[in-house]
Amino acid sequence: MDWTNLGSRRRMAVYVEGPGHWRWDRTAGCDDQYWHGDAPLVTAAVHSAGICGTDLSVLAGSDPDARYPLVLGHECLVQIADPGASGLRRGHHALVLPSVACGGCAPCLAGEDDCATPAMLGRTHPYGCFRPTLTLPATQLMPVPRGAAERAGPLLEPFARAVRILRQAAATPADRLLVFGAGVAGLTVAVAAKALGLPAPVLLDRFADRGEIATRCGLPSVVTLGGQLDAAYWRDLGPASIVVDTVSSRASATASLAVLAPRGRYVAVGPPHARHDVAVSGDLPRAHGVSVIAAGRSMRADFAEAIRLANRPGVDLAPLVTGHYPFDEFQLATRELTRRPERHVKILLQP
């Protein structure tokens, strides 16, 4: 890929100086200064990058944990340009792993994949992916076969989280799954469940158009909620042994607990900065014995499993992509996402 022929903005990074303030910057984030350890550095061209709700929160200043200034972006598929001494192959695709280990905690020093205080690219780590080229340690990259790259691209990042969610919930073929919210998180959970041989989840969403996207992914249609979040409405759907709540509001949490079967599992999958109390009311007898699970960050094993599943011919995340924009139309892309949420699931930025 010849970056010299791109427009001037496409050679720049989306540099966020603080809440609500960003600019194009050609030199933001000198590559070497952000990395520790002795892993070989790899230079890669960005193939495509996804805009997610976390990016919008960081941009707007509604994420209290964001550390400014930073370059935005953490969902990214790249093409290796200079593998250095990494053993990766030039021209092959790789997924950027968004969590950066601190290098100093006990798990890191023991070489384990469970850092006590990880940073997230483009959120709590200043080196984000919304830029044309990246130079980062080989440990932040995972090779992606052609099939998975074509059918999933940067959606492998939320797909890995979906794999993690189902693992945390200990989902089995005997479970009945209900997923509240048919956005990226909910749909990837449903696709992952199908790929893992689990029962097709019941998907619920306020937007009717999500049903068409689900159908194109080979999933059952979406139940449109409208404004219904009361327990009586949900009870008509029957008890569920696992509820994955990708909205994680007080209302959705209460309704989710109302339909959980005894000893059911409620998984909260809100944005990383979401904070609210989940109260199990005494007048909900089904809530007895339920497990409340906060979805954790994806581990290397989750990414590896997501890539393996996405490389199967019958697994396709491409229908979740509802818009493509060049990097220099970043502002237009974010405006489209925020103003027309009913029309979009995932927008990708591309050179």
Domains and CATH numbers, the chain: 3-152+317-350 (3.90.180.10), 162-294 (3.40.50.720)
Is pLDDT at 83 greater than 50 in this prediction? yes
Reported confidence tier of residue 5, pLDDT bands at 50, 70, 90: very low
Q: Transcribe 8-70 into DSSP letters.
A: GGGGSEEEEEETTEEEEESSSS-GGGG--SSPPEEEEEEEEEEE-HHHHHHHHT--TT--SSE
User: pLDDT averaged over the chain?
Assistant: 87
Highest mean pLDDT among 66-80, 262-276, 286-300: 66-80
3-state secondary structure at position 319: helix
So what's the pLDDT on residue 255? Answer: 81
Rounded distance, CA 130 to CA 51, Å? 9
pLDDT tens per residue across span 21-62: 999 987 665 555 678 778 899 999 999 999 999 999 999 999
Name the packing angle between helices 184-195 and 300-310 (round to 10°).
Answer: 70
So what's the pLDDT on residue 307? Answer: 98
Distant-in-sequence, close-in-space partners of 156: CB < 8 Å, separation ≥ 6:
77, 95, 144, 148, 303, 306, 307, 310, 317
Burial grade of 104 (CB within 10 A; 0-12, 13-18, 19 or more): exposed
User: Residue 115, Cβ neighbours under 10 Å: how many?
Assistant: 19
Q: Residue 48 carries which side chain, given as an amino acid letter?
A: S
pLDDT tens per residue across span 108-149: 888 777 787 889 999 999 999 999 999 999 999 999 999 999
Lowest mean pLDDT among 27-36, 153-162, 189-198, 262-271: 27-36
What is the pTM (predicted TM-score) of this model? 0.91
Reported confidence tier of residue 274, pLDDT bands at 50, 70, 90: low
